[in-house]
Amino acid sequence: MSASDPGGLTRRQALHYGLGSVALVCSFASPVRRRPGSTSAWLRAADAGPFAPFRADLPVMPDLLPTRRERTRDVYDVFQRPGIAEILPGYQTPVYGYDGVYPGPTIRAIKGRTAIVNQHNQLSLETVVHLHGGFVPAPSDGHPMALVAPGQTFTHTYPNRQDAATLWYHDHRHGETARSIYFGLAAFYLLEDELEKTLELPSGDFDLPLMIQDKSFNRDGSLRYVEDLDLGFRGDTILVNGAVTPRVAVKQRLYRLRFLNASNARSYSLVLGQGREMIQIASDGGLLERPLRRTSLPLAPAERIEVLVDFRRYGPGTELVLHNELGEQGRAVSVMRFDVERGGGTEEARVPAKMRTLDTPPRPVADRRWELSLATRTPVEWEISGLGFDMNRIDVRPRLGTSERWQWVNLSNRVHPMHLRGMFFRVLSRTPGGLDAGERGLKDTVAVGPGQTVVVQPWFKPYTGRYVFHCHAAEHGNRAMMRQMEVVA
């Protein structure tokens, strides 16, 4: 099957598709020290140790504690600054970090309690922070052109009036998103609520947030980035929570695994062992209506999937490898390993039969068609319906509280994970290929494969104001696959 003939693609095949054409590659100087011509292959040839799988233990990101707690809100201070990460044993890797660490600290928020997050820019570059998946007033959403200069502070107000979900915050300065996320500006934001507690889902040590990214390295252990405007960046090394293909010891208990694809452009299809069962309980917008038993998890950039895995089914000493079915030529295949240990005490969690009832959006008041393509003009840009991003243009003005039917029509041979800010949508159809079962929950990002048409129904609530929608293959969004909408009263 050629790139121009994608008929009959499933979603998983669509995520994999588009790996083979000639790339439009532009090299940029790294913001960290590097040696010309150096690659990750050099490290492998000289010393396989840093890249040997399952040697490093899975890191646990630190929780960010509030600077102060008030009656109805929590105040946080985050300092964006350079840092050093030990990603490869024996090497020090310069990064950009929230609080100087990579990945950044996790913010744990509670539904109904407002979070005030003061983002202090102590880097030498302009930044913008976006809470991905958050219902956020437009001034706090982190518009890609709302730049915060070095030495300045921006205060974000997050009302947290939505249901519990796995969210994340990351840099989104227009034209530089790919580099800033790649060099470390990404972190979890976990929103909790009372409903989840009543469902008795795994918590504490049995609730694991897992940020997956692909990287490449220079001779000195620094990160190597080459911008690929066509395919998007593809690294040769998989990191989970900032460690190379780590291992984690798990008890014979029920675990909740929160997967986030924070890669620039790489898609994954995650499989546990030889197709062991995982039970999906949530997607981008939080809990599904009912648990979904499955053996593989397609995950495009910026998507989140939560699953339950019952490690009571495996004896002590069992080693279960999570691997990526979309890895190519032996690269980016192994993701991490779960090592089952005896014990774990009395099981306190369970698999619920039903989790919640999703609200039905109102009848759509408009139909819109958005075509996704690569511009033929110079400079090379990605387009939505023949236009790139223009800060001075509003492309659509939906009314608050209404819904519409949007068609994403992919005329290219690349996957485009399309993201709407400030709201969720329902995925209605995918042709060819059909919907993945896990896409029936609330979504903020959806993968549109080569030659596919994906129909979604966004619900324009709860805030008015200017938001953007764009491709979350970061290099595509950079150049300039993004449009603006203004939700009006």
Contact predicate 281/306, CB 8 Å: yes
- The architecture in CATH of the region 204-340 reads Sandwich (2.60)
Token output for 70: 């008030």
Task: Tell me how far apart the alpha carbons of residues 349 and 430 are, in angstroms, rounded to a whole number.
Answer: 35
Q: Read off the pLDDT of residues 41-100 as tens digits, 9 standing for 90 and up.
A: 444 444 456 788 999 999 999 999 999 999 999 999 999 999 999 999 999 999 999 999
CB-based burial label for 9 (10 Å; 0-12, 13-18, 19+): buried
Length reported for the chain: 489
Fold of 68-192: Immunoglobulin-like (2.60.40)
Q: Where exactly does CATH 2.60.40.420 map onto the chain? A: 68-192, 204-340, 358-487
Task: Tell me how far apart the alpha carbons of residues 292 and 308 are, in angstroms, rounded to a whole number.
Answer: 10
> What parts of the chain have a pLDDT lower than 70?
1-49, 329-330
Task: Tell me how far apart the alpha carbons of residues 130 and 177 are, in angstroms, rounded to a whole number.
Answer: 11
CB-based burial label for 70 (10 Å; 0-12, 13-18, 19+): exposed
* pTM of the entire predicted model: 0.92
The continuous run of DSSP H or E covering 478 comes out as helix 474-478
Task: Tell me how far apart the alpha carbons of residues 261 and 57 are, in angstroms, rounded to a whole number.
Answer: 20
Q: Read off the pLDDT of residues 14-31 as tens digits, 9 standing for 90 and up.
A: 454 343 333 333 332 333
Task: Tell me how far apart the alpha carbons of residues 475 and 270 are, in angstroms, rounded to a whole number.
Answer: 23
What DSSP character marks residue 103?
A: S
CB-based burial label for 177 (10 Å; 0-12, 13-18, 19+): buried
Task: Tell me how far apart the alpha carbons of residues 219 and 226 are, in angstroms, rounded to a whole number.
Answer: 15
Task: Tell me how far apart the alpha carbons of residues 306 and 50 are, in angstroms, rounded to a whole number.
Answer: 29
Q: What is the pLDDT of residue 37?
A: 38
Q: What is the pLDDT of residue 48?
A: 57
Q: What angle do CA 266, 272, 275 make, to 5 degrees?
A: 110
Contact predicate 303/424, CB 8 Å: no
Task: Tell me how far apart the alpha carbons of residues 242 and 63 are, in angstroms, rounded to a whole number.
Answer: 15
CATH 3.30.590.20 describes domain 358-487: no
Contact predicate 309/279, CB 8 Å: yes
What DSSP character marks residue 34?
A: -
